[in-house]
Amino acid sequence: MACARYYNAIVRLLIDVLLNYAQDRQCSRPRSGGFGKTKAYFLSTESQNSTGDLHGHMLVWIENMPTTTAQYYELLKHRDFQHRVQDYVSSIASSSFPVSLDRCSSCSSTDIAAMQFSREVFKKPKR
């Protein structure tokens, strides 16, 4: 039960902050969220069969964006829309690392070294 409550709290926070959507009033707030102004969203929550871990699949409708994949692919044939999509993606995505690699943000040490990790550290532990 605690895992479900935690999952629900994180999802509500994601919707509230990232989408800037007022769940209590079921409407978008005046300012845009992380992807633009949210018109609506749909979330389906399920659990993994093997572990029971909760996860969700979400659809988000953004104002002034195509509402179907058919509309999207049709619009992609136009150069102007391609440029608008590029501008949109550039406005919401970043490829820079937001942490200084010259100085530790906690202790201000400048003695920072990169660590190499083997693929083993990313594998699921054996039970």
pLDDT in tens, 24-72: 999 999 999 999 999 999 999 999 887 888 999 999 999 999 989 999 9
pTM score: 0.64
Residue 1 or residue 21, greater confidence: 21
Radius of gyration (Cα) for the chain, nearest Å? 20
Number of separate helices (H) and strands (E) present in the chain: 3, 4
Enumerate the domain spans of the chain.
Answer: 2-92
**Pairwise CA distance, residues 24 & 51, whole Å:** 32
For residue 2, the model assigns a pLDDT of 86
**Pairwise CA distance, residues 84 & 123, whole Å:** 39
- Which tokens belong to 1? 């039960």
**Pairwise CA distance, residues 35 & 31, whole Å:** 11
Complete DSSP assignment for 12-40: HHIIIIIS-EETTTTEE-SS-BBTB-EEE
**Pairwise CA distance, residues 16 & 81, whole Å:** 29
